[in-house]
Every structure is written in structure tokens, then in C-alpha cells.
Structure 1
């Protein structure tokens, strides 16, 4: 099944611009919640144990789509969470990675993006570990896509 349209989701550049304009952390959290609301939900059939990200305190599911396996694969993602802020973190991560060549995704650690936004200092250790788990999962899926 092809990924759902993510047209309502802001681009990673739009998210970066918004974070640059928002100084207040309460407002940044509200913005994360808003981009999470723009994330298309996953059908119940895709909220499976195989799609669940292990290591997240909240339920997080990521579905990986590969246009064609091999070194030129382009990878897209769908995601969902049952927690508002976490869903925003999922949306941020998917905006960063989705639609890129799998070989780039496999080597690009988005946690640097989270650090640049100051999120590392403003997330609980549990949420930071969950974000790390999600990024690791996405990068493993990308590496597998390029190896196929």
C-alpha cells in the first residue's frame, strides 16, 4: 500500500523556520503538537507489533515504504503515536527523512536536528531515548532497503 499523502505536513524547512521564530518553549511544544495533528493517522491494520518502535515509552508505529530496493531506493514513512507531543516528534522525524534516498537516510542521524532545535535539553530522558529508538529504526530500515 503506498504511503498516505503528507501534504498537510509542513516541510522540514518550514519546521526549521518556525522553530527559529519561536523562542518560548511552551509555544514550541504547542507547535510540535500542531504538526503532530497534521500527521495522517495510520489505519488500525498498520498499528502492528512489527511496525511498533521498540524503546519508546508511548506507543509509536512507523511504516516504511521503499519505491524500489537497491542502491537507488527512495524511502518514505508513515507514523503514528498515541501521545500528542510524541506524535509531533514523529511528524518532525518523518518530515526530515521521508522522500529521501535510502542511502542518505541510513547514514544521517536526525538527532543532530533535534539538538539544533534545543529539543535534547527540553525532552525527558525517556522521550529522548524514544526519539533515538525511532531514528535508529528508520536508519536500519533504510540500510536494509539499499542492501536488497
Structure 2
């Protein structure tokens, strides 16, 4: 079982998020935008919110499910995510813009830290949120490396 189609990484891209965040002058407004992105995530089916999908190292509860889907001659990873915290769901949406519906090789090659730097994200997160964000990224990259 997987969640429904996810616009992140397809119709909502890294470039869209970089451009849209650039419109806001304050980080308060940027946080609101990130939270709104999280509200656009499709619901994760309850049966996917299991212990084996729970990401360790996050302050909030975070679940990540990774499924493979054939696209032409390559497999792409489709990600389904959820969290019990609004801001974390938004951060997951930011990550999905970079990783969802990409090949494992594309995920591993993408410079996520440069992306976060361009957004100014890590400078504006608490250390525990920043560590949690890195744990989410590590989990997805580990799944990509296995495929």
C-alpha cells in the first residue's frame, strides 16, 4: 500500500521553492509558506505509519515510506511521508521537492546541503530540528543507496 500521487518533485520543484521563498522578507513569513507546503502533502495511509518507517533522531514523529515505480527504463522512488508536527511536514515537503520521483542515482547525486544553504534553512532551525531534518535526508539517501 502506498499513498496517492505526490506533487512534490514533479509539479512542485526545488526551483519553485527557492523562488517562492525568495519573495518573503521575514523568516516568519517563510515558515508560514513552509507549513503551507506541508499541508499540500497527500495523507499517508495509517497502515504506513509503522515503527519500521519511523525516522529515529527526530524531535517529532516522522514516517517515511519509499516505493519503487518504473518510469521508462529506470526506477524512480516515490516517497510518502507524514509527521505529527506542522513545521516538520513542511520541511518534509521541502525535501520531497528534491527527492520524490527521482532515480536512486539522482537522489544520491543531489547536493541537499547546497539546497538548504540556498534556502538559508539550517541557519533558521533549532539544532534539534536541524538534526531531525538531516536524519530525514539520511533515511531517504540510505533507501536510495539500497536500490
Structure-1-length-normalised TM-score: 0.89
Q: Contact 2:3 / 2:44 at 8 angstroms: preserved in 1?
A: no
Aligned to 1:76: 78
CA distance in 2 between partners of 1:92 and 1:3 (Å) = 18
Describe the shift of the 1:7–1:94 C-alpha distance in structure 2 as closer, same or farther (beyond 3 A): closer
Q: Which ranges in structure 2 are unaligned for 5 or more consecutive residues?
A: none
Does structure 2 conserve the Cα–Cα contact (< 8 Å) formed by 1:53 and 1:59? Answer: yes
2 CA distance for matches of 1:86 and 1:67?
A: 26
Match of 1:131 in 2: 133
Q: CA RMSD in A?
A: 1.8
1:9-48 pair list within 5 angstroms? 10-48=12-50
How many residues are matched? Answer: 143
Query: C-alpha distance in 1, partners of 2:56/2:111?
Result: 18
Q: Distance in 1 between matches of 2:5 and 2:116?
A: 24
Given that residues 59 and 132 in structure 2 are in contact (C-alpha distance below 8 angstroms), is that contact kept between their aligned partners in structure 1? yes
User: How many Å separate the matches in 2 of 1:107 and 1:137?
Assistant: 15
1:59 correspondence with 2:61: yes
Deviation at 1:50, TM superposition (A): 0.7
Q: Secondary structure at the match of 2:63?
A: strand
Question: Which digits, 9 at most, give the CA deviation of each residue in 1:33-67, with x for residues without a partner?
Answer: 10000011211100001111111010011110112
- TM-score, normalised by the number of residues in structure 2: 0.89
Q: CA deviation at 1:80?
A: 0.6
- Is the contact made by 1:53 and 1:134 (CA closer than 8 Å) also made in structure 2? yes
